[in-house]
Amino acid sequence: MELWQQMLRQSIDSADDLVKRFNFDKETAERLNSLFHIRINPYYLSLIREPGDPIWLQCMPDATELADDGLPEDPLNEDGDSPVPSITHRYPDRVLFLVTSQCSMYCRFCTRKRKVSDSSKISMKYIQDGLDYIKAHPEVRDVIVSGGDPLMLTDVMLEKVLKGLREIPHVEIIRVHTKMPAVLPQRITPQLVEMMKKYQPIYVNVHFNHPWECTTEAKQACDLLADAGFPLGNQMVLMKGVNDDADVVKDLNRKLLMMRVRPYYIYQADMVKSTNHFRTPIRVGLEIMDKLRGHTSGLAVPYFVIDAPGGGGKIPILPQYILYHDDEKIVIRNYKYEVFEYAEVNDDTKPVPVDNDARFLRRSPVVIRERKRRISKRKATSTVKVKNEKPAEG
C-alpha cells in the first residue's frame, strides 16, 4: 500500500470522528455527514492553524449547511447535458468525463455534492459507456477527466482510462482535473507521472484556493508533474472568508507561478444547495481582478468567470476598462485609472483577391497576412493620454 493510501485510511471520515476530535454535537454531526460525506485526510488537517481559518472553512462541515438556502442541487444542469451517466457534453468539441466518485478531501463548497462520494451515481462501471460515447462522437477532441478526483484511482485503473482515450483517433487533448497537489500531494509519485507521460498531451488543472496550501510538499508534487512535461493550470473558487481579498489572491497566484502553475480561472461560487454561505457579491471578484491587472505579472492574472446557471457555460467577467467607444475612437482606462484615447480604424478596404492557382495555395495566405500587417503599421495611431482621473465605475 502506498503512503497516500495509508494516509487516506487515517482520515476523519465519520460523524463519530467529529464528535471525538472537535466536540461536535452528535445529532448535528450525523446530519452533516448524511447531507454530504465528511473526509479530511491527515495532511490537509495539518494545514489548519485555528478553527474558522481558510483551511478549516474548506474542509470542516458547518451547521449552516443544514439551513434551507433555496439553491438547486444541480445549478449548472450537468445532468441535463449527460447523454450517459459518466459524460457531460455541453460544449461543441469537448466533454466532461467522470471516472470516480471519491476524493481525498471532500470540499464543503463542492458543486457536485449530489454525486460526489456516492458510488451509485459516479462509478467505474460507467467508464466504458463514457469511452464508447466519446468514440462515437468524432467532434469531441478534448476530454476533461474528473469526478470526484481521478487521481483517487490506482495507477493501473487510471492508465486504463488514459489508454482508452488515446486509442480514440479524434481525441487530441486530455485534461486531468485534480485537487491532489493541494490536498494530498503524496499522491503525486514518480511512478504516476511516468505512467501518465505515455499518453501526452495531457494538461493537468489543479485546485489551490489559498496561499497556505502552497507548501513544500505541494511544490514537490507540482515539480514532478511539470518536470514530466504536463502544463499546469489552477482553478480557484472565490469564497467568503477564504480568499475574498485581493492581497490573498495575489499572494496565492505568485506562489503558484513559483510552483510552475499558471493561474487559469477564478470561479464565482456556484449556486449549489447548502453552500450559500460561501458566496460573495460579484463586485468582490471584479475588485480582485482590478487589483491584479497591472499590479502584478500578467501571468498571475486568471480569468474571472461565472459558470452560468442552467448550463450556459463559463462566461468571463471583467472590470470596466472601456469608457466610451464609437466609429472614431475608443476611450479606455488602465490599472492606474489613467484615461487614454485610441483612434478607431476606418476599415473600408476590400479583401485582397487570392490566386487559386494550385502552385500558389501554400504561399498566397502568407503573402496576404504580411501585406495586411504592413498596412496596419502605416495606419496605426499612437495612444494619446487625455487626462488623469479616476472615472466612476459603470
Question: Does 90 qualify as catalytic in the annotation?
Answer: yes
Among candidate residues 110, 219, 250, 333, the one labeled active-site is 110
Helix (H), strand (E), coil (C) string for 143-200: EEEECCCHHHCCHHHHHHHHHHHHCCCCCCEEEEECCHHHHCHHHCCHHHHHHHHCCC
Question: Does 270 qualify as catalytic in the annotation?
Answer: yes
Question: Does 279 qualify as catalytic in the annotation?
Answer: no
- What count of other Cβ atoms lies within 10 Å of the Cβ of residue 249? 27
List, as own/partner pairs, every contact residues 388-393 make where C-beta atoms lie below 8 angstroms and the sequence separation is at least 24, other chains included: 388/338, 388/339, 389/337, 389/339, 390/337, 391/323, 391/333, 391/337, 391/339, 393/319, 393/320
Question: Does 112 qualify as catalytic in the annotation?
Answer: yes
Question: Does 142 qualify as catalytic in the annotation?
Answer: no
Among candidate residues 39, 59, 107, 267, the one labeled active-site is 107
Between the two ends of the chain, the Cα-to-Cα distance in Å is 57
Q: How many CA atoms lie within 13 A of 224 on its CB side?
A: 19
The one-character DSSP state at 12 is B
Among candidate residues 135, 160, 291, 314, the one labeled active-site is 314
Q: Strand runs (DSSP E) across the chain, as ranges?
A: 87-91, 94-98, 142-146, 173-177, 202-206, 232-238, 262-268, 303-308, 313-316, 322-325, 329-333, 338-343, 384-388
Among candidate residues 74, 251, 270, 290, the one labeled active-site is 270
What residues contact residue 46 under an 8 Å CB cut-off, 6+ apart?
none
Among candidate residues 90, 114, 141, 329, the one labeled active-site is 90
Please state the φ and ψ torsions of residue 375, each to the nearest 5 degrees.
-60, -45
Question: Does 372 qualify as catalytic in the annotation?
Answer: no
Among candidate residues 17, 81, 91, 166, the one labeled active-site is 91
Question: Does 110 qualify as catalytic in the annotation?
Answer: yes
Among candidate residues 13, 244, 307, 333, the one labeled active-site is 307
For the CA atoms of the chain, what is the radius of gyration?
A: 24
Among candidate residues 108, 112, 115, 187, the one labeled active-site is 112
Among candidate residues 94, 113, 115, 279, the one labeled active-site is 94
Among candidate residues 13, 44, 59, 103, the one labeled active-site is 103
**Helix (H), strand (E) counts: the chain:** 13, 13
Q: List the catalytic residues.
A: 90-91, 94, 103, 107, 110, 112, 270, 307, 314
